[in-house]
A = this chain, B = another copy of it.
Amino acid sequence: MPRDDIVNLAARRSLFYPSAEIYPNSPSGFWDFGPDGETIRRKIIEFWRNELVEKEGFVEIYGAQILPEAVFKASGHLESFNDPITQCAKCNSLHRADKLIEEKTKENVPESLPTKDLDKLIEKNQITCPKCRGRLGEVRKFNMMMGLDIGATGQQRCYLRPETCQTIFLNFNRIYKTMRQNLPIGIAQAGCSFRNEIAPRNTLLRERELGQMEIEVFFDPQKIDEVPDFDYVSDYLLNLWLLDEKKLVKVSCSDAVKKKIVSGKTVAYYLARVQQLYANYGIGIDKMRFRQLDKDEKAFYAAETWDFEVETDLGWIELIACNYRTDYDLKRHSKVSNTELSVSEDGRKFFPHVFEISAGIDRTMYVLLDHTFRKEKRGAEERIFLALNPRIAPYLAGVFPLVKKDGLLELAKNLTAEIRNYYLDAFMDEKGSIGKRYARADEIGIPYAITIDYQTKEDNTVTLRERDTMEQKRIPLESLPETLWKMKHGKLKFSSL
């Protein structure tokens, strides 16, 4: 759906909005999430936790967001987490050189391109300052990490982590030992990362403080093809956008392995699980792809990188980087920290290899809003609703007393409490016409609306309305909590009520 529709809805219902917006000149790229937005954001994480982390038997950790400089010396961020920037000689505004070139040429500029080559491209394409048309200065590298000094004399240089995965590498050895398991083991983390972007934009798509949910799977490289559950996905079709063919091809996991499109079964299996996760969130299969990254595009340590992308009104948006990071990270941290991080299994001592699934939380939210936004003409009127997965919707049900008097308000209050008692999210709304209350609930994706009316007092039934079809059914009051629980978890359908 058009970006403007999403931004308008977000502003109107306070799903998300610029942080510190009451202060003029607050820095851009920071977003706050209002009540319903916060809930959607949280449920996106819970969904990932339930459907991927727990089902795969991964464990989840929670690490400090500030890490000492040594960590980023080892990881390479201190040296190479840079953006190429150029400053206008006339108005002094700063710009991402690669993005300016991409906008002009409509061609991809590899991250690794030297600054001199960028200078040449700017000259060749006669690119000037987008603000004032002034001449652009020499391209230089700008490190995007946010540094800060810890201690009263500022004696310890630290950085806000630019990605959540470093904590996972630092914790690997301890977790490996504590878990009493052999490889493969998967360690997950959901949290914030921080990047001093030159030009934050498109709301949740390019932020300075961003939510990530990352998984690092540590495995024995000699056993990359030993995946016990591979049979479940061997016929599953991956949407792969292949470099060689320059197009999207549907390839089964087993074929991807056989044809050596991927490095092994471990990679194919997790690509399948990612695709399934996003299908379960509610994204159509035909709107997603794994884009194979070129040598120039992928990180230098990655043997193989697939960007999981979803098509939106703004084009294909990268939601997840799937990186086969080899043993780069553990080896580096082992060396720089002078700590033994290799493991001994099968009589061999080696550094585990890592397959990374690094997903954006806020980007996932944006894309889910884009994909579930519906505008329907109904005669003269227009209906807006979010066709959100019931497990992602901010509430499962709204309870609406027809009027406040004659005991209907009390009935509604009790029912709301009863539904909550089942640890289901419900809210009560007693203000305005029933039609307006439906419209307000639709707009933030509430799957079910329950109306308490005079008949409820007579026969203990209520009207249950389904968001997407607007169909209504009379349901016995006392069966509601269980019915809702089952519908939320896909164990029962509204149509079979």
Task: Assess the B337–A22 pair: CB atoms within 8 A.
Answer: yes
Task: Assess the A194–B85 pair: CB atoms within 8 A.
Answer: no
Q: Knowing A26-B68, A63-B32 are in contact, say whether A147-B148 is a contact too (CB < 8 A).
A: yes
Measured CA separation A37–B178 after assembly (Å): 12
Task: Assess the A19–B67 pair: CB atoms within 8 A.
Answer: yes
With most chain B CB atoms within 10 A of its CB, the pick from A14, A26, A208 is A26
Shortest A17–chain B CB gap in Å is 7
Q: Knowing A32-B64, A66-B194, A194-B66 are in contact, say whether A170-B489 is a contact too (CB < 8 A).
A: no
In the complex, chain B residues whose CB is within 8 Å of the CB of A147: 148
Q: At the interface, is chain A mostly helix, strand, loop or mixed?
A: mixed
Task: Assess the A63–B19 pair: CB atoms within 8 A.
Answer: yes
Measured CA separation A54–B142 after assembly (Å): 45
Task: Assess the B20–A170 pair: CB atoms within 8 A.
Answer: yes
Measured CA separation A32–B166 after assembly (Å): 12
Task: Assess the B13–A68 pair: CB atoms within 8 A.
Answer: no
Which residue of chain B has the shortest Cβ distance to A172 in the bound complex? B22
A175 within 8 A of B: yes
B14, B67, B336: the one within 8 Å of A178 (CB): B14
Task: Assess the B33–A62 pair: CB atoms within 8 A.
Answer: yes
Task: Assess the A20–B209 pair: CB atoms within 8 A.
Answer: no
Task: Assess the B35–A66 pair: CB atoms within 8 A.
Answer: no
For this chain, the copies found in one complex come to: 2
Task: Assess the B174–A34 pair: CB atoms within 8 A.
Answer: yes
In the complex, identify which listed stretch (A149-157, A244-252, A279-287, A450-458) lies at the interface while the others stay far away.
Answer: A149-157
Size category of the A interface is 35 or more
Which residue of chain B has the shortest Cβ distance to A67 in the bound complex? B20
Task: Assess the B38–A62 pair: CB atoms within 8 A.
Answer: yes
A439 within 8 A of B: no
Task: Assess the B146–A150 pair: CB atoms within 8 A.
Answer: yes
Measured CA separation A59–B30 after assembly (Å): 21
In the complex, chain B residues whose CB is within 8 Å of the CB of A336: 23
Task: Assess the A146–B146 pair: CB atoms within 8 A.
Answer: no
Measured CA separation A62–B19 after assembly (Å): 10
Measured CA separation A211–B17 after assembly (Å): 23
7 smallest beta-carbon distances between A and B, as pairs: A35-B59, A30-B64, A19-B64, A38-B62, A32-B63, A33-B62, A14-B178
Knowing that A20-B64, A23-B336, A32-B64 are A-B contacts, what are 15 other residue pairs whose CB atoms are under 8 Å apart, sorted by A's residue number? A13-B178, A14-B178, A19-B64, A19-B67, A22-B337, A23-B337, A26-B68, A32-B62, A35-B175, A38-B62, A41-B62, A64-B209, A65-B192, A85-B152, A94-B152
Residues on A lying within 8 angstroms of B by beta carbon are 13-14, 17, 19-27, 30-35, 37-39, 41-42, 50, 54-55, 59-68, 70-71, 85, 94, 142, 146-148, 150-153, 156, 158, 160, 167, 170-171, 173-175, 178-180, 192, 194, 196, 198, 208-209, 333, 336-337, 339, 341, 420, 423, 431, 489
Could you show 10 A-B contacts with beta carbons less than 8 Å apart?
Answer: A14-B174, A14-B178, A20-B64, A26-B68, A34-B171, A35-B60, A41-B62, A42-B62, A146-B148, A146-B150
